[in-house]
Structure 1
Amino acid sequence: MRALRSLFACALLAFYSAAWADFSGSVVGVIDGDTIDVLVENRPVRVRLAQIDAPERTQAFGTRSRQALSAMVFRQAVTVAEAGPDRYGRTLGTVFVAGVSVNAAMIDQGMAWAYRQYVTDRSLIQLEAQARAARRGLWVDPAPVEPWLFRRTK
């Protein structure tokens, strides 16, 4: 029985690791400060940047956040380290341009929060603290509202 459980666990692990694969493509759309469309094999894949949350479009710094992301990725070749789907069917992932994490760069520039509910990379919280201390980006606002709280009011 123990061997059967072990075999099942290995098969399950192989299935999940094969289901989530890194992919590359060109960014053809920037939806907001944490969502992009990547063209993969002639079809767009909507990617939600994992572990970060950017201001909503109608929120303070929402437009600037989208512009910052666009400046980094639009029409650029990117690699996405996929982390599975989100509840809306988008692909969650860490996006890289020339080996640099765009997710981390958005936080470092003060254009997004480390999404506390989903963060697994603790260095993102440290990047946010540094951006906050330096008053970069949205941190110039004396009382910025986290996007997850802003969405609750809408």
Structure 2
Amino acid sequence: MSKKVGNFRKIIFSCTAVFLILCMSGCSVTDLGGTKKQELDFTVLEKEDIPEELKTQIEEKKDEPMKLTYTDQGQMYLVRGYGKKESSGYSIEVKELYETENAVHIRTELKGPGEKEQVIEKHTWPYLVVKLDYQDRHVVFEE
């Protein structure tokens, strides 16, 4: 019996070793931070200028906060949505959009209704779509 237990332990050890090697070889870490290289030129799109397929994705996800990227014909679209709100009067500002060696970074800010602004009590879904030239980098949505 001890021979069977010994063989069983060898098999378990071998399987565990193979599993760990496979896990470690498939994982890599990319540093998405880094030094700001340059600001990127971008355009904030009006709803009628958003590609139809992207509009569909936004519509499906608009109730919850969202961070989407979409590429089409040499262009990159970055979407930042803030979910369902109980009134009108919200706006979104792009605070930064820049590139580092490994990533594109975007930081936006949701601005609530101003004190002097006329607010309508109805559900709204504030989101922003930014269009820029395609970048072959990860996208980091910063808070």
The two structures share one fold, judged by TM-score above 0.5: no
Which structure exhibits the higher relative contact order, with contacts defined as CA atoms closer than 8 Å and separated by 6 or more residues? Answer: 2
Structure with the bigger percentage of helix = 1
TM interval, shorter chain, is 0.3 to 0.5
Rg larger in structure? 2
